[in-house]
Amino acid sequence: MNHEWHHDGYTVSTDPQRLDLQTIHGFLSKAYWSIGIPMEIVRRSIENSIPFGMYHGDRLIGFGRVITDRATFGYIGDVFVLEEHRGHGLSKWLVECMLAHPELQGFRRWILLTRDAQGLYKRFGFTTPPNPERYMELWKPDIYQRR
């Protein structure tokens, strides 16, 4: 089921049919966390998560997605607002919508990774892990450049 939120002429929607994949890919392929990501990977990542498109009118101006089992866990990823729309609290509102989604309530754990947006996420209660020694990862930062 798709959901929508409205605020000051902007809309956040989980309808994947509304998404502008060219805009999303254009941003993500240059973002520090996904440089060079192929369009097919962007498409698959959206198909296998809950996408949140942010629109001004019909134009996509922001995006984020939640990877989840819809029961216990949510990973927030690929959050962005296009530069010309920044400075209006839209990224904060986008995260509010993600956390308010009715199918994503009662989770035991929400996680995310960010290099530069800790201030945004701290206002929602995100903190650094209390036991970082428990977290492990298999990280391949140049995976898209090796294709």
**pLDDT at residue 93, as a whole number:** 98
Mean pLDDT by 10 residues, the chain (147 residues): 96 98 98 96 98 98 98 98 96 98 97 94 94 91 81
What is the distance of C-alpha 50 from the center of its chain?
Answer: 9
pTM higher than 0.85 for the full model? yes
Q: Order of strands across the sheet with 10-13?
A: 4-7, 10-13, 50-56, 59-68, 73-81, 109-112
**pLDDT at residue 89, as a whole number:** 96
**pLDDT at residue 141, as a whole number:** 86
**Helix or strand or coil: residue 71?**
coil
**pLDDT at residue 147, as a whole number:** 63
Domain ranges of the chain: 4-134
SS (H, E, C) 90-137: HHHHHHHHHHHCHHHCCCCEEEECCCCCHHHHHCCCCCCCCCHHHCCC
CATH superfamily of 4-134: Gcn5-related N-acetyltransferase (GNAT) (3.40.630.30)
